[in-house]
Structure 1
Amino acid sequence: MNRFIAPALFVLMLSACGLQPLYSGGSKGAVASTLGTISVAPIEGKSGWLMRNALNDRLGGQESSNAQFRLIVALDDQIEGFGVRADDTVTRERRTLRARYQLVSIATGETVLDATAGSDAGIDVVSSEYATIAGENSALENLTQKVADQIVTRLSIYARGE
């Protein structure tokens, strides 16, 4: 009997804390409906192309003619060497991707959300230049996915009205 009472009390306490699912209502909910009305403006460069694709995958790739909001993203992509040997060769790099993004209402032109997101990754520099470049590219692909997730999470919180 006691093993049923403890989980029941836990469920009651959890519902009393005010936590609610972000995507409640599924595809018809407020968050999904708002995210589906966002078009992503073109973003400059290779990192911009990767970021725009990642965002469109998460937002549904809204055509700009049907959109209510426009997402404008500016990226800062940096690679910095920080592991150095005695002969001044770099052994480790850090790739940092930062995004400043603005959600603009198409109807009014008002910026309704202005925020930043970012992440970084470490890259081993090896004797093969090809392997190092491949590592840098893989890091960029992973970083764009992480930053896109951060952006969509923040857009979802905005769409929920918090």
Structure 2
Amino acid sequence: MTRIAPLLLIAAVLGGCGLRPLYGGGESSSVAQLLRSVAVQPIGGGQTGWLVRTALVDRLGQAEGSARYRLEVELDDDLTGFGIRGDSAVTRERRTLRARYRLVDAATGSVLLDATAGSDAGVDVVGSEYATVAAEQTAVERLSQIVADQIVARLGLYAARGGTTP
């Protein structure tokens, strides 16, 4: 009995804290319905734009028929060298990926949500140029996934709050 009492107390406290699952309700929830009805617009920025768009489509799915919403994304991809040695050679780089995104009502053209997402990653610059390029590529692939996750989470929060921005 002494082992069960703390578990019951924790369950009671967590049950009253007001937390609820974002995707609670499954396919019929307002979050799932909104995410399913978003069409991701083409994103400029070459390979990075393609990576972010692909990650978003993987998470949201392709809106079937005429989508109710459009997701417009603008990227800022920056690679900055720092960690300079005495001979002016860069030893470390920072890859920064920022996205400004807008959720637009397709019928009216009004912007429902205007926000940003972003992340950065460090890249070691080594003696092998191939290894450095591979590390930069891996960094941008990882950052694309992180930014897409942030965008989808924010869209889900928007839907969970009944379509209002905080």
| Shorter-chain TM-score above 0.5 | yes
Q: Report the alpha carbon displacement of residue 78 of structure 1 after superposing the two structures with TM.
A: 0.2
2-structure distance, mates of 1:3, 1:89: 61
Q: Report the alpha carbon displacement of residue 2 of structure 1 after superposing the two structures with TM.
A: 2.2
Which residue is 1:59 aligned to?
A: 60
1:1-162 alignment to 2 at 5 Å?
1-44=1-44, 45-63=46-64, 65-161=65-161
When the two chains are superposed, the root-mean-square deviation of aligned CA atoms in Å is: 1.1
2-structure distance, mates of 1:36, 1:142: 24
Q: Report the alpha carbon displacement of residue 29 of structure 1 after superposing the two structures with TM.
A: 1.4
Task: Report Cα offsets for 1:59-107 as digits up to 9, x if no partner.
Answer: 01224x4210000000000000011111001010000000000000111
Segments of 5+ residues of structure 2 without an aligned counterpart are none
2-structure distance, mates of 1:20, 1:110: 30
Q: How many residues align?
A: 161
Letter in 1 for 2:18: G
Among all aligned residue pairs of Structure 1 and Structure 2, give the percentage whose two residues are the same amino acid. 58
Q: Report the alpha carbon displacement of residue 34 of structure 1 after superposing the two structures with TM.
A: 0.9
Letter in 2 for 1:154: R
Segments of 5+ residues of structure 1 without an aligned counterpart are none
Letter in 2 for 1:152: V
Superposition TM-score, scaled by structure 2 size: 0.93
Q: Report the alpha carbon displacement of residue 28 of structure 1 after superposing the two structures with TM.
A: 2.0
2-structure distance, mates of 1:122, 1:16: 41
1-structure distance, mates of 2:126, 2:62: 38
Secondary structure of residue in 1 paired with 2:3: helix
2-structure distance, mates of 1:90, 1:56: 36
Superposition TM-score, scaled by structure 1 size: 0.96
Secondary structure of residue in 2 paired with 1:142: helix
2-structure distance, mates of 1:5, 1:87: 66
Q: Report the alpha carbon displacement of residue 30 of structure 1 after superposing the two structures with TM.
A: 1.4
Secondary structure of residue in 2 paired with 1:2: coil
Letter in 1 for 2:109: G
Letter in 1 for 2:12: L
Q: Report the alpha carbon displacement of residue 17 of structure 1 after superposing the two structures with TM.
A: 1.1
